[in-house]
Every structure is written in C-alpha cells, then in structure tokens.
Structure 1
C-alpha cells in the first residue's frame, strides 16, 4: 500500500508539473501554425518558407536549452536542498550563458540568413528561399527575446512554478493571433509580417515574465542571498553549462535529424510543404512527451537526495504517462490524418502525402514517448551526457536507415524512424537498469552505493544535499 501510495503521489506530481508545460510548449507550436495558416493565402512557396524557418527556430531552441534547462535543474536541486546561495548561483549562471550565446546566434544568424535559407530548403536562390531569408532577417535578431524568455521560464520552473510560463506563452500566442492578419495581409508584409508579429508577441511575454521573477518569493529570496565564497560568476556559468549542455545536445541532435530528413523526403518526390505541415502536426504529440520529460527532470532534481527507490518510482510513472500519451497520439493520427492535414490548411496531393506520413508514424511516436520521458530522470540526476550520446547515435542511424529505405516511400521513412528509435530505447533501458541496479560496497555490509552524480561536483544522488 505504501509503494502504491508513493507511486500515485509521484504520478500526481508529474501531471501537475507537466500539463502547464505542455500548454506552454504547444502554444509555441501554435504560433508557427497560426503563421502558416495566414501565409497559406500567399501560396505554397510562402508556406514552405515559414514551415522550414519554424523548424530552424526549433533547432535554435536547443541552443538556449543550455541555459534554460541547466538553470531549471540547478534551481530545483538548490530548492530541494534549501540552499538560497546555490540558487542564486544558478540564476547568475543562467543569465551569464544567455549573454554569451545570444549575440552569436542573433548576429551570426542575421548575417548568414540567405545561405541558411538555401541550406534548409535545398535551393539555389529561387522559389521559397528569398521568402525564408526575409523571415530570418526579422526572426533571427528577435531570437534574443526568445532566448531570454526561455531562461526566465527555466528559473520559474526550477522554483516549482510551471503555470506562469504557460500563461506567458498563451499571452504571446494571443498577440500573434491578433497581429498576424494585420501585418501579413493588412499591411502586405507577407512572411516578414509573420516574423514581426511573433517577435512582438514574445517581447510582451518577456516583459511580464521579468515582472513574475520579481514577484516569486523563492527566487526573490535567492536573489537577496549572500553569495558563496567558493563560487564566482565564471564558476556559476561553467556549472550551468555543464548541466544544460547534454540536454541541449540531445534536443539539437533530434531537431537536426528532423531537418536532414527534408532532403531524404525530397529525394522520393514528396512535397516539402507536406512534410513540413505533417511535422508541425506531430508536434502536438511530441510536445506532450517533452512536457513529461521536463516534469520528471524537475521532480527528480528536487528529490536529488531521496535515493534510488524514489528515482525508479519517478521513472516508472514517467514511462506510464508518456507511453499512454504516445499510444493515444498514434491512434488519433491513424484515424484522423487526412482531417488533420486539411485543418492545417493543406489540400490535394500535399494533404494526401502528409496524411500518409502521419498514419505511418504511430510506432515511432510510442517509442519516442518512452525514450523522451525516461530521459527526464537522467537529466534531473546528472546522467544526461550518456543520454545525449545515445540520441546522437540514434539520429545518425535514423538518417542512414531512411536513405536505405527511401525506395519504399514515406512508409519506408517512418519504418527507419521507428527502427532507430527502438534501438535508442533499448540502449536507454539498459543504461537505466545498470545505473539503478544496487551495487555492493565491497565491505560485505549489504548496503549499496549510488553511482549517479550530479554535474558540477554536487553530492551523489543517493545522499542528502547539504
């Protein structure tokens, strides 16, 4: 009864943390979909440009996850240890990383906007390439706002507040919904108008997020705490980077693989717009998996000193939730694939190709859900570097399988994705079982040591944080 009660409490906590994260992430997806719906009135080239530009932005999200996710985990650990000085160090490290990463991406991306557009669209200068470059000319400088919002969200989530980031995302999305028709069609700005409305909506959300930071009692106490004598800004930055980099690498590798599949899909003659729209539709499911992952990471980090049994219980409940979500998504897309494509503004051959892709993606989605959810436990407990390596190898295998099976069309592409993800799941389950298996201390006491350590020299997971 005690174990069942503990499992139910973990599940309840994961759901409470995850559902606001899901709506926050979904709101970001919806911003891209809203943009595509309005630019669809400008033609297929405009849709392709905005769809692929949105994929690039998702890739760049992985870059700032170094600061955002790293800060979330470190703040959650400090909160669990009731250590305001450590929390203050985590906040400083997050902002320091933002200040370093943002100029490189914003300025470098703007200067390389045209080569970037040609790269992701596989063009030489015509078609949707100039449109994508125009979108990038606004969106990439505006990435500074997007990155700052991500860091603010990470701080709030680490302090156990996932609802405020959800509200901020909904605010940004509501403004985009109102501004898109005005700027895209009313002022005739086209795809540039979509980029402008996105940046303006996010700017308003960032202003509200900064105000929320000042109102948060936990973070306000940390900001006023005396700094530790053993730490410096450089040390805080390194600690945040060490914690967040594997999470960022994991996400960037998966998004890079998704972008690289565009070339394979184009090789078999499928319209890029169909692939782009179908990928957006799948985000409705995958964002739920990432929400469970974030919840598992926050919950695990907060209970860092609670020991192996607690971590196993969190992992089991995360798998249960994500597996149910993955199966539900697979069945929904199997039944409603054509309707989903039409709802997102496509028709004709584009809708048919996208619906086929969605219907074949079910096994991949179920496996992806389990892999992503279990990854949250590793992120919270310091095991994400190995997880990132598994993801990187899986993406390479996915592209190789996709190229080899591309002769079977879209079903072959989906089969390649499922095979690769099955191998990744097998690897992470083996890693999880080995990490969680009790080990003898070598002194015959029967007590076990916990081999997992948090990055940055913190205490072993099985010992109480000080």
Structure 2
C-alpha cells in the first residue's frame, strides 16, 4: 500500500482494457462486415439479436465474477485443493444453467424479438441468428469463467490471451464466411459460434498448468452453489440492469424504422471499444480500494476514487474529440443511412459527453462493492435502467429518434451524479466512523493484507 495511486490504477486498468476490448471487438466486427452487405434489414437484425445476447452475456459475466472471486479467496487462504473442488463443481452447475438458458432463449426468440420491435425480414433474420447462437451461451460463459479463474491465480497475461483468441477468430472468419462463402448473417452467426468455441478451448489450455480443474464431485455441487452463488447472484442482478435498460431503448428506437435501429446499433458497438479503458478502471480500482481500506488508509481510498474519476474525465474528453473529428468516417464505414445519420452526428457532437456520467456510475458502483455497500451498486444500476431510462426515453420518443437518445443521456447524467455523491458520502462516513469497518478486521489481518501486495 505504497507508491503512486495513479500509477497503480493506470497499469492495472491498461492491462484489463486489452482483454475487454477484445470481447467488444467481436460484436463490432460482426456488425461492421454485415453493414457492408448494404441491407438495412440485416444490420437491424443483428442489432435486435445482440440486444438479447447482451442480457444472456450479463448472466454469464455474473457467474464468472462469482467463480473468480470465490476461487481467489480460497487460493489467498492457501486452500488450493478446496478451490479446485469448488471451481470444478461450479463449472458443472454453470454449464447446466447456461445451457438451459441458451436453449430456452432460442425457443422463445421469435416472440421476444417481436416484443423488442423487430418486424418483417429483420425479424426473420434476427430469429435465425438467435436460433444458431443462443444455444452456445455455455461456450462464452466457459471462456469468461476460465479467464476469471486465471486472473484469480494472478495469470493476467493468460487471461488476456483467452479473450484475445475470440477476437482473432472473428477477425479471420467473418470476412471468409460473410463475403468469401456469401453466407451473410448466417456467416456472422457461425463466426460467433467459432469464436466462443476458441475462447473456451483457450481457457482450458491456459488453465491446465494451474491445477485448478478435476472431475466434479457430486458432494461438492451444493457447497459450490452456496459459496459461489453468494457472490454470483448479486453480480448477475447488477449486471442485468444495463442490458435490460438498453432493451427498452431499442424498443423505443424501433418505432422509427430500420435505419434508426441501425444508427443506434453503430453507437452501441463503438462505445464499449472506445471506452474499454474506462470500463477496465472499475475492475482495477476495486482491489486497490479494498486493500487500503483493510489497512485503514481511508485517505488513499479517497485518492484512488478521485484519481479514477479524473482518468474517466480524460478518457471521455479524448473520445469526444476523436468521435467529433471522425464522424464522417464512421458514417461511411458502417454504411449508416436515413435517420441513423442524424443519430450518429448528434452522438458524436454532444451526447458522447454523457459517458462521463456512465463512468461516474461504474466507478461509484465499484466503490460500493469494495467498501461494504453492494446493495447501493444494485440499486443505482437498476435505478438507471428504470427511473433513469423509461420516463426520459418515453418523453423523448415524442420528438423522434434524437429525442430517444437525448432522453437516455439526460437520465444517466442524473443517476451518475447521484451515484458519485453517494460514493463520496460512503467514503467520508468511513473516515468519520472507523469502528464500522475496523470491527471486522483485526490488526493482524490488516498486517497480512499489507504483506500480500503493496497497492
């Protein structure tokens, strides 16, 4: 718990951003290649389908967060054998749950897409895409979970290779299948399936040297469900909020035609790639806050929080400049047409600034999770998805697709600001009332925490 907080945050976030960017690039490449088929129904179809996939992936992410955290705690307590048994048993449970979820979503794909606003050829194409990709949810969940286990044992480089392998597969297979074999959206679906398979295989290959897998024991299934589920279920609840809110936005945008849906889809895919560093900040600053809290260094907890906010602001300013200068290039490269042109220009000119408040929300949620207030994180995420989205988007829809975008941006400005002020209040409360957190940590445990890593 020494040295520059800013330096620690930048180094940890930088390595994490590469892996996150690789995951987001898979969707971006799929959309990019499909857009060059010059068929608005296909670009709208992949936009509708991936909106549902994001909900599924949030479940997979929550499960992987729980598995990684539980494994890391056991390894940190020098209980490697138990970590192996728990991890192996939970992987078995995870495969079962995600297989059921994936198949169920595939069966219900058509009515779900109708509720989302898909119609005509876009509905038919999106349904076909979901029928092909949804049953393979288990593969992407395995890739995430195994990568999370690698991070738990400190193998950050190997964890990054797992996610990069999927992106490389997509970059190679998309043009071959979509253009070379003329498979269109089906080619994008096959490429997605192959990328998921490559990620899962890469995860197993990279993890085998760490002795964390064995044939699962039936006796450990309920134990694994209890230990990992205690972490995974709240993580799933929190992660589901954002894609559920985005479903409402997509439904509102669908009223204005396929071009509006396609324009929104371009923005939705560029944003995670552009702000991968900001999203990685939320994962990197958490351990820094937690260890400094354990050592009683509340001043460094506050410093870590404020440093992360400053880095978020810097990233948003840089992204705003890039999007403003490159908006014509984006319109041409992604074949944006009709109402989508106005949406992309509005976003590049002004609305991109609202992601500063998205960053405030994410950083604040990380503070809540690591400072003993996890329910605050869930509340603010769902607050953004409901009170921060539905009324603002509903009112904005009366003014067209631009109104939908502006309504969503205004909602996140209010929620993100409230989350930041609340997080600062939590940190100040810990400083004023140290007995609230010192009671659960003995001096000995604080000394052990200090010995485990200097952050």
TM-score between both structures, scaled by the size of structure 2:
0.85
Cα distance in 2, alignment partners of residues 369 and 337 from structure 1 = 22
The answer (yes or no) to whether the contact 1:39–1:191 under 8 Å persists in 2 is yes
Number of the residue aligned with 1:57: 53
Aligned to 1:429: 420
* Distance in structure 2 (CA, Å) of the matches to 1:377 and 1:237: 26
Deviation at 1:49, TM superposition (A): 0.9
Q: Give, in whole Å, the separation in 1 of the partners of 2:165 and 2:430.
A: 50
Match of 1:412 in 2: 403
| CA positional deviation for 1:153 | 1.3
What whole-Å deviation, never above 9, does each CA across 1:261-285 have from its counterpart, x for those lacking one? 1222234566211111122122223
The equivalent residue for 2:285 is 296
Cα distance, 1:85 vs structure 2: 5.9
Task: State the alpha-carbon separation in 1 of the partners of residues 291 and 43 from structure 2.
Answer: 43
Distance 1:82 1:307, change over 3 A: farther
1:40-119 aligned at under 5 Å gives the runs 40=35, 41=37, 43-84=39-80, 87-88=83-84, 91-92=87-88, 94-119=90-115
Count of residues in correspondence between the two structures: 441
1:296, 1:380 within 8 Å by CA — same for their partners in 2?
Answer: no
Task: Label 1:266 to 1:110 Cα distance change in 2 as closer, same or farther (>3 A).
Answer: closer
1:129 aligned onto 2:123: yes
| Counterpart Cα distance in 2 of 1:405 and 1:283 | 24
Partner Cα separation in structure 1 for residue 226 and residue 292 of structure 2: 23
Give the structure 2 partner of residue 448 of structure 1: 435
Cα distance in 1 between the residues matched to 2:18 and 2:276: 9
Per-residue CA distance 1:47-83 (angstroms, 9 max, x = gap): 1111222222222111112211122333444455555
> Which residue matches 2:25?
30
Q: Check the 8 A contact 1:63/1:248 in 2, yes or no.
A: yes
- Match of residue 190, structure 1, among 160, 173, 184: 184
Determine the structure 2 residue equivalent to 1:456.
Answer: none
User: 2: CA distance between counterparts of 1:235 and 1:307?
Assistant: 33
Deviations 1:96-137 (A, max 9, x none): 5513421221221221222233233432xx221111111111
Summarize the alignment of residues 316-335 of structure 1 with structure 2, pairs less than 5 Å apart.
316-335=306-325
Q: CA deviation at 1:35?
A: 1.7
- What is residue 238 of structure 1 aligned with on the other side? 226
8 A contact 1:67–1:244 mirrored in 2: yes
Distance 1:199 1:108 in 2: 17
Please name the residue that 2:453 is paired with. none
Q: CA deviation at 1:460?
A: 9.1
Q: 1:429–1:93: structure 2 CA closer, same or farther, 3 Å change rule?
A: farther
Judged with a 3 Å threshold, the aligned counterparts in structure 2 of structure 1 residues 185 and 418 are, in CA distance, closer, same or farther, namely: closer
Matched, 1:39 2:34: yes
Q: Is contact 1:402–1:416 with CA below 8 Å preserved after alignment?
A: yes
Q: 2:270 aligns with which of 253, 267, 281?
A: 281
Matched, 1:379 2:362: no
d(CA) in 2 for partners of 1:460 and 1:137? 53
* Residue in 2 that maps onto 1:142: 136
Q: CA 1:419/1:192 → structure 2, altered by over 3 Å: closer, same or farther?
A: same
TM-score with structure 1 setting the length: 0.83
Q: Extract structure 1 runs of 4+ deviating beyond 6 A.
A: 459-462
CA distance in structure 2 between the partners assigned to 1:409 and 1:391 by the alignment = 26
Inter-CA distance 263–107: structure 2 relative to 1 (3 Å threshold): closer
Structure 2 vs 1, CA of residues 249 and 15 (structure 1 numbering), >3 Å: closer, same or farther?
A: same
Aligned pair 1:173/2:167, yes or no?
yes
User: Match of 1:367?
Assistant: 357
Q: Distance in 2 between matches of 1:27 and 1:158?
A: 20
Q: Is 1:210 aligned to residue 204 of structure 2?
A: yes
Q: Distance in 2 between matches of 1:440 and 1:304?
A: 10
Instruction: Indicate the larger mover: 147-156 or 29-38.
Output: 29-38
Tell me, yes or no, if the aligned pair for 1:21 and 1:163 is still in contact at 8 Å. no
